[in-house]
């Protein structure tokens, strides 16, 4: 049984906590919050022990009526692995604290790559992650790209990849983010950090990335071009992607036309928080011109790294193989859509949500 703590109970932390608590081979010892807000209340309601992320704020929680089990230091001493889910850059400040407590750590992709022994993606990482004392799960976008580039490279060879990332401006709960009426080159310099970040996982892939921010909150959208080493067909690519357990190809006939309907589908299937852990590749977009592959995919920025965190914990703390860990994580969380809609089913009328 691996004892796990989650430091930071925000968008990613709350989901990692739920995923860890669901694993039969893991024990969620507790989670931290910096302040007693609705998220802290919700953690307690879920039965999670709450720790103050900042020592001198224990009184603040008590004043708000929320009981804390201790501070971050107490949590670190009680766990085998800490998952750092603090905002970008705070993980760097936390690192010496974890090391002082001799607690192995999983970091998120908002931190620099050198914070950990290796960067991590369950599908695409090499053996450099074995035996690591700390791992960094690459960002949602880099996770989404690594998951498709690895099999494409193995099957067809990747000569060059060019990706435009149209990123959501903020998460649904980030009411103060923007843009509200623009699409912002971010950064304006090319490449964005995503290409180099993919190279932390797949060092031999030639990839350039250009990134924008758009006024939407539900998901990121990637416009992907991959020049392959060998000619192939769209069908062969679809077949390859259909074998990837964390890639969902959106059926043409499902009446799903954007992130709104995609997330609605996830909620319809009873997914907690409407989460989508898989890359969502638009089946109809997969096309091949000579050696050039094109496709659109959506990535749920709140969720796709969650199963990766679970696998990173196992990689650090156990001898369970990566493939076995992925299988376990998928099984417990329910990763993988298996559409009932037959290929070639005909949806003739445009659908509305109230039809």
**179 is an interface residue for its own copies by CB under 8 A:** no
Number of residues that bind its own copies (CB under 8 A): 69
Q: Which two tokens stand for residue 166?
A: 């149209």
316 is an annotated ligand-binding site residue? no
Beta bridge partners of 2: 26
Residue 106: strand, helix, or coil: strand
**264 is an interface residue for its own copies by CB under 8 A:** yes
Q: Among 2, 3, 10, 208, which residue sits at the site for its own copies (rule: CB under 8 A)?
A: 10
CA 235 to chain CA centroid, nearest Å: 27
Place of tokens 């201790």: 70
Q: Which stretch binds its own copies (CB under 8 A): 5-13, 22-30, 115-123, 146-154?
A: 5-13
Q: Which two tokens stand for residue 176?
A: 């103060």
Beta strand spans in 260-318 (E): 279-282, 287-289, 292-299
**336 is an interface residue for its own copies by CB under 8 A:** no
Bridging pattern class, strands 118-120 and 158-168: unpaired
Q: Which stretch binds its own copies (CB under 8 A): 137-145, 248-256, 279-287, 312-320?
A: 248-256
Number of H helices, E strands in the chain: 11, 16
Q: Output DSSP code: residue 230.
A: S
Alpha-carbon radius of gyration of the chain: 20
With respect to its own copies, which residue has the nearer C-beta, 38 or 189?
38
Q: Which stretch binds its own copies (CB under 8 A): 20-28, 158-166, 172-180, 229-237?
A: 172-180
**12 is an interface residue for its own copies by CB under 8 A:** yes
Q: Which stretch binds its own copies (CB under 8 A): 123-131, 149-157, 201-209, 268-276?
A: 268-276
CB of 351 to its own copies, least distance (A): 5
Angstrom distance (rounded) from CA 256 to CA 265: 8
12 is an annotated ligand-binding site residue? yes
Q: Among 116, 122, 254, 310, which residue sits at the site for its own copies (rule: CB under 8 A)?
A: 254
CB of 134 to its own copies, least distance (A): 20
Distances, alpha carbon 198 to alpha carbons 124, 140, 205, 301, in Å: 10, 11, 8, 16
Positions in 83-122 near its own copies (CB under 8 A): 85-88
Q: Output DSSP code: residue 323.
A: H
Which of 76, 132, 140, 228 is catalytic? The answer is: 140
Q: Output DSSP code: residue 350.
A: P
Q: Which two tokens stand for residue 209?
A: 């990335």
Q: Among 21, 27, 46, 97, which residue sits at the site for its own copies (rule: CB under 8 A)?
A: 46
Phi/psi region, residue 57 (left: phi>0; alpha: psi -120 to 50; beta: rest), is: alpha
168 is an annotated ligand-binding site residue? yes
Residue 211: strand, helix, or coil: strand
Angstrom distance (rounded) from CA 218 to CA 223: 17
**1 is an interface residue for its own copies by CB under 8 A:** no
Q: Output DSSP code: residue 342.
A: P
With respect to its own copies, which residue has the nearer C-beta, 36 or 195?
36
With respect to its own copies, which residue has the nearer C-beta, 189 or 346?
346
291 is an annotated ligand-binding site residue? no
Nearest to 281 by CA among 310, 333, 240, 320: 240
Q: Is residue 85 annotated as a catalytic residue, yes or no?
A: no
With respect to its own copies, which residue has the nearer C-beta, 64 or 100?
64
**127 is an interface residue for its own copies by CB under 8 A:** no
Nearest to 191 by CA among 166, 212, 209: 209
**64 is an interface residue for its own copies by CB under 8 A:** yes
Binding residues: 11-12, 110, 139-141, 168, 194-195, 301
Q: Which residues bind its own copies (CB under 8 A)?
A: 8, 10-14, 33-39, 41-42, 44-46, 60, 63-66, 85-88, 171-175, 181, 217-218, 253-261, 263-265, 267-270, 272-274, 339-342, 344-349, 351-355
The residues annotated with a catalytic role in the active site are 140
């Amino acid at each position: 049984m691996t004892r796990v703590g989650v430091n930071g109970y925000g968008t990613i932390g709350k989901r990692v906590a739920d995923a860890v608590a669901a694993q039969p081979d893991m024990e969620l010892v507790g989670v931290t919050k910096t302040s007693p807000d609705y998220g802290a209340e919700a953690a307690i309601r879920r039965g999670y022990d709450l720790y103050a992320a900042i020592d001198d704020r224990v009184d603040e929680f008590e004043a708000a009526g929320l009981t804390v089990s201790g501070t971050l230091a107490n949590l670190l001493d009680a766990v085998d692995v800490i998952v750092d889910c603090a905002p970008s850059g705070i993980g760097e400040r936390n690192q010496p604290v974890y090391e002082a407590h001799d607690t192995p750590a999983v970091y998120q992709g908002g931190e620099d790559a050198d914070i950990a022994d290796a960067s991590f993606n369950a599908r695409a990482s090499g053996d450099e992650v074995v035996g690591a004392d700390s791992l960094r799960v690459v960002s949602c976008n880099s996770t989404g790209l690594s998951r498709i580039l690895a099999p494409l490279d193995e099957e067809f060879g990747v000569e060059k990849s060019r990706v435009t990332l149209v990123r959501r401006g903020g998460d649904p709960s980030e009411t103060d983010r923007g843009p509200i009426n623009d699409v912002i080159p971010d950064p304006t310099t090319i490449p964005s950090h995503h290409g180099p970040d993919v190279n932390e996982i797949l060092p031999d892939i030639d990839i350039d990335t250009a990134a924008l921010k758009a006024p939407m909150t539900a998901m990121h959208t990637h416009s992907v071009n991959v020049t392959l080493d060998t000619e192939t067909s769209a069908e062969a690519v679809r077949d390859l992607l259909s074998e990837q357990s964390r890639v969902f190809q959106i059926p043409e006939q499902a009446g799903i036309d954007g992130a709104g309907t995609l997330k609605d589908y996830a909620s319809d299937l009873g997914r907690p928080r409407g989460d989508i852990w898989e890359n969502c590749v638009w089946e109809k977009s997969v096309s091949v011109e000579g050696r050039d592959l094109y496709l659109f995919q959506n990535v749920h920025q709140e969720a796709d790294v969650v199963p990766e965190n679970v696998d990173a914990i196992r990689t650090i703390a156990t001898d369970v193989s990566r493939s076995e860990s992925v299988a376990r994580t998928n099984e417990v969380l329910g990763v993988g859509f298996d559409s009932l809609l037959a290929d070639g089913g005909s949806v003739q009328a445009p659908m509305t949500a109230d039809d």
